[in-house]
Structure 1
Amino acid sequence: MPKKHFEVAAAADITLIVQVKDNQPTLHQQIQDICATTVPLTSADSHDTGRNRDERRRVTVFDPAGRLADTDWQDHVAAIIQVERTVFTRNSKTGLLHHSAEIAFYISNAPLTATRAAETIRAHWKVETTSHYSRDVTMGEDTSRIRTNPGIIARLRSFAFNILMANRVGTLPQDRYRAALAGLDNLLNLLAVPQN
């Protein structure tokens, strides 16, 4: 995660939230220490159930307040966000629960509340699970063996994905199947492109 992203976001007056992972061990450790020894500004809890999952999240926001003064990050970090997730997933075959827990750390270039941070981070995961998973599984991007001009095919997949999502009737695989049966004329109708 380069600091240049934060500089560009500051110049464009954009709020940026970025996850700090183990690939930046020094910053990651400093953020962990700040969260362990500092009183939080705000926190928010949420609880989601569905699809054999029971997930509880606690999002806590901390003010770095000069604790990053000896680093290059001092000018870029206005808030530190800690997300604690506890998930119970039920195995549909055995009925047994699997427990997992994790703590993730994020930094932001602007001060924000825990509620706003939780909404933003959750919205990012919605993009991850909706767009990326659908492209990988339903559209078969990861299994594609196209090696000549793969960017063209990727753009066509994006084009098709966006059309299907904008005209959603059922699930993405069902809509894709219906679109394949209907042919090019149906696609042009969805786009409202006049046919000659």
Structure 2
Amino acid sequence: MPESHSPQAFHGPCRLPAGAQGQPQRAPQAGEGVFQQPGAPALHQAARRALSTDDQGNQAHGRTERRVVLATDSLWWIDKLEREDWPGLRSVVCVESHREQHGSGAKSVEKRYYLTTHEPDARRLGQLIRQHWSIENQCHWVLDVTFDEDQCLARKGHAAQNLAMLRKVCLSLLKQDTSIKDSLHGKRYRAALDESVLETILFPGRSK
């Protein structure tokens, strides 16, 4: 993965300290138990020796959130054949998010894992991951407002992915157009009613 890209995410098992009824007892300290896998004590020790950590918290949207980011370049435990599928792999990252809703007091813990070509700088990687999701969330909001994406019920086969790709292509064309002074939703509506407007958006360089 190029250095300018954000880390790539995947999900996997990761053990939490448990309290009554298997619920998380407390948020771990940075680096505590996040990379632990049952039956691999050598991995635990090696990963913690090469571990970069960052612990951040904030309050927003009616909740308190704490994010623990851990990164390591101790990758000897990954099978050589699997490493070949990830050229340039340099670090493994774990982001553990602890959230508590202010009104209900409900608590949740989520762990996400990333593979990256970046060095294991937990603070920097945490920033890149947050920037990536900020862009994704903003794009989703625009797609929902402009194309009512959340109401799409296509589920069969690859229909959902294909339609999502087409919506993003259309969104890109609408944003690139500077000849029509209107909102994205307004441009789309006008293009549906007037073929000359549609042609202007689809073929911006075509002479009239």
Q: TM-score, normalization: structure 1?
A: 0.58
Structure 2 residue 27 is the aligned partner of structure 1 residue 17: no
Deviation per CA, 1:82-130, whole angstroms, max 9, x where unpaired?
A: 211111234xxxx323211122222224423112211221122123322
- 3-state SS of 1:115 partner: helix
What residue number does 1:54 align with? 64
Matches within 5 A, 1:88-99: 88-90=100-102, 95-99=103-107
Unaligned runs of at least 5 residues, structure 1: 1-8, 24-30, 168-173
Unaligned runs of at least 5 residues, structure 2: 14-34, 38-42
Percent of pairs identical after alignment? 21
Aligned 8 A contact 2:91 2:119 in 1: yes
When residues 162 and 97 of structure 1 are mapped into structure 2, their CA distance, relative to the original with a 3 A threshold, is farther
When residues 139 and 32 of structure 1 are mapped into structure 2, their CA distance, relative to the original with a 3 A threshold, is farther
Q: Which amino acid aligns with 2:107?
A: H
What residue number does 1:84 align with? 96
Give the Cα–Cα distance (whole angstroms) in 2 for the partners of residues 16 and 154 of structure 1.
Answer: 21
What residue number does 2:138 align with? 130
CA RMSD of aligned residues (A): 4.6
Count of paired positions: 171
When residues 160 and 50 of structure 1 are mapped into structure 2, their CA distance, relative to the original with a 3 A threshold, is farther
What residue number does 2:26 align with? none
What residue number does 2:40 align with? none
Q: TM-score, normalization: structure 2?
A: 0.55
When residues 41 and 98 of structure 1 are mapped into structure 2, their CA distance, relative to the original with a 3 A threshold, is same
Structure 2 residue 127 is the aligned partner of structure 1 residue 119: yes
When residues 13 and 122 of structure 1 are mapped into structure 2, their CA distance, relative to the original with a 3 A threshold, is closer
Aligned 8 A contact 1:15 1:110 in 2: no
Aligned 8 A contact 2:3 2:117 in 1: no
When residues 160 and 118 of structure 1 are mapped into structure 2, their CA distance, relative to the original with a 3 A threshold, is same
Aligned 8 A contact 2:50 2:72 in 1: yes
Give the Cα–Cα distance (whole angstroms) in 1 for the partners of residues 119 and 176 of structure 2.
Answer: 34
